[in-house]
Structure 1
Amino acid sequence: MEKVVQTGGCLCGAVRFEVTGDGSNPHSCSCRNCQQHTGAPTVAWMEFARDQVRWTGTVGAPATYRSSDYSSRAFCAACGSSIGAIDDAPTVALLAGSFLILPRPPLRPNTTRLKIASRTGGWSPLPLLMRGLWFAAALTPRNEKSTPKRARAD
């Protein structure tokens, strides 16, 4: 049976990776470390055993920053792109956005970590969802016959 190989890397291409086989524990997270690491309100991750990941870019493995007592955040030192996290356990968690094509099977988080209850005025996905719905509705083509034309005020 052929092993599935998925590839990805950073924006400038200096950090590249290949992963062999399927990942595990797809999840999303909205903790403060993930927010500061990526600049996004929430991120999607896919975990791989360390021996499933091979660093193939010109710089080899990504640069790391020790972000907790069990993990280091991985990023490209040249362009600053977030790549993932390399845990002390033999786990490499890669950000979904760093793959050229989303991991197969499709990345569908099994769990979500939203830490909004502990912060006053914390992040909530509802305004973004509502904005997205409004934006999608604004871009939807309208049938000219069913849409009344506005009168011009001259």
Structure 2
Amino acid sequence: MRVSGPTPVPEVRTGSCQCGDVTYAVTGPADDPHLCSCSHCTRISGAPTVEWVGFRAQDLRWTGPGGEPTWFATWPTLRRGFCPRCGTHLISVADGSLMVMVTAFSLDDRTGLEPVGHSFRAEAVPWMTVTLAPDPAHR
């Protein structure tokens, strides 16, 4: 007879829009926390960069009274979800991807999600200095 310890409880992170109408939970490990300064992300956010964190699409569930966000095709192969009530940008999903990217600052707890990469860094505003966390694969 094989005796094993307790089954580990998967990590659950929760997040929401500004008004709390659209909320979500993601189970499992976070992947590729990174900043993006492409003109697409900066225009949609109105900020010099957006921090994205990936999760498996199958591990995301919408939990709030508002249900799912309102989806917009913001690029030929990309949909983004926004709260229909307050407009908060919450999520990005590429066609055919098994991953979803949530905006890191929509998460209630961002512990351990320091960005390890910066997409379109050459397009970043020149006055912004970014210090990235060490890549976990190389620690």
TM-score by structure 1 length? Answer: 0.72
- C-alpha separation between the residues in 2 aligned to 1:69 and 1:24? 24
SS across alignment from 1:94: strand
CA shift, 1:90, in A, is 2.2
- C-alpha separation between the residues in 2 aligned to 1:114 and 1:87? 18
Which residue is equivalent to 1:113?
119
**Once the two structures are superposed, what CA deviation does each residue of 1:79-126 show, in whole Å capped at 9, x if it has no partner?**
011112122212210011101111x5x112222113546xxxx622xx
Which residue is equivalent to 2:136?
none
> Would you tell me which structure has more helix in proportion to its own residues?
1
RMSD: 1.6
SS across alignment from 1:67: strand
Which residue is equivalent to 1:51?
58
Q: How do residues 126-137 of structure 1 correspond to structure 2 at under 5 angstroms?
A: 127-129=127-129
Relative CO higher for 1 or 2, CA cutoff 8 Å, sep ≥ 6?
Answer: 2
Residue 123 in structure 1 maps to residue 129 in structure 2: no
* Letter of the 2:72 counterpart: Y
- C-alpha separation between the residues in 1 aligned to 2:128 and 2:77? 32
Which residue is equivalent to 1:82?
89
CA shift, 1:70, in A, is 1.9
SS across alignment from 1:64: strand
> Would you tell me which structure has more strand in proportion to its own residues?
2
Q: Extract unaligned runs of 5+ from structure 2.
A: 1-7, 130-139
Identity %: 33
The number of equivalent residue pairs is 121
Q: Extract unaligned runs of 5+ from structure 1.
A: 130-154
Contact 1:63–1:75 (CA under 8 A) maintained in structure 2 = yes
- C-alpha separation between the residues in 2 aligned to 1:11 and 1:39? 16
TM-score by structure 2 length? Answer: 0.80
CA radius of gyration, larger in: 1
SS across alignment from 1:74: strand
SS across alignment from 1:7: strand
Which residue is equivalent to 1:135?
none
Residue 96 in structure 1 maps to residue 99 in structure 2: no
